[in-house]
Structure 1
Amino acid sequence: MAILRLSRLITQSKTVPRPDVPVSLTKRTATTTPTGAILPEPEKTPFGIFGIVCAVVPGLLIGAAISKNIANFLEENELFVPSDDDDDDD
């Protein structure tokens, strides 16, 4: 019984809502009501395949642009110049 009371005290610790922060941005630390009922699961915002595409495509484009600029810089400053001997397949 003491463990149950201790677990209720731990799960009922709530943050004090600030008036300048919207309710949707506050962190919910309580998992049960004062009577012991389990609170419902929070709402989830699904992004699906659209969200994945919106995250991956810009990352690939930015990474390709950066690597292209670095390769041009290395070649202009002759820090890395492919030799003609490497292309011979004889």
Structure 2
Amino acid sequence: MATSILRIPLRLSTRNMGIMTRNPSSKTSSMFRATQSRTVVSTQSGAILPKPEKTPFGLIRMTIVVVPFLYVGTLISKNFAALLEEHDIFVPEDDDDDD
């Protein structure tokens, strides 16, 4: 798997060399043709791999992670806004334009 990942940039660079050269007479067809292999979907022999296992309760797990961090972020921003207001760095003005 790791060696095939390292070979992909090499294959792409050799394919694009014909396009990047200054000589317009060179054709990309004279270069070797690399066979595509999808190691995530199939094996080296061409057999299709089984479906990956689905993780249950994805939405619940996401909620368990997101909600506490949103709450902590809200507390930090509220305390920082109070600190700014206490030191007169940023004081929101109460403009009542309900005339």
Superposed CA RMSD in Å reads 2.7
CA separation in 1, counterparts of 2:84 and 2:71? 20
User: Does the alignment pair 1:38 with 2:61?
Assistant: no
Gaps of 5+ in 1: 12-28
Residues 88 and 39 (structure 1 numbering): CA distance in 2 closer, same or farther, change over 3 Å? Answer: closer
Cα offset, 1:58, TM superposition? 0.8
CA separation in 2, counterparts of 1:45 and 1:64? 30
Please give the TM-score of this superposition, normalised by the length of structure 2. Answer: 0.51
| Structure 1 outlier segments of 4+, above 3 Å | 87-90
- Amino acid of the structure 2 residue aligned with 1:74: L
- Amino acid of the structure 2 residue aligned with 1:54: I
Report which stretch shifted further, 73-82 or 42-51: 42-51
User: Alignment length, in residue pairs?
Assistant: 67
Please give the TM-score of this superposition, normalised by the length of structure 1. Answer: 0.54
CA separation in 2, counterparts of 1:6 and 1:68? 57
Residues 30 and 65 (structure 1 numbering): CA distance in 2 closer, same or farther, change over 3 Å? Answer: closer
Q: 1:72-87 residue pairs with structure 2 within 5 A?
A: 72-84=82-94, 86-87=95-96
The structure with higher relative contact order (CA 8 Å, sep 6+) is 1
Q: 1:2-21 residue pairs with structure 2 within 5 A?
A: 6-7=35-36, 10-11=37-38
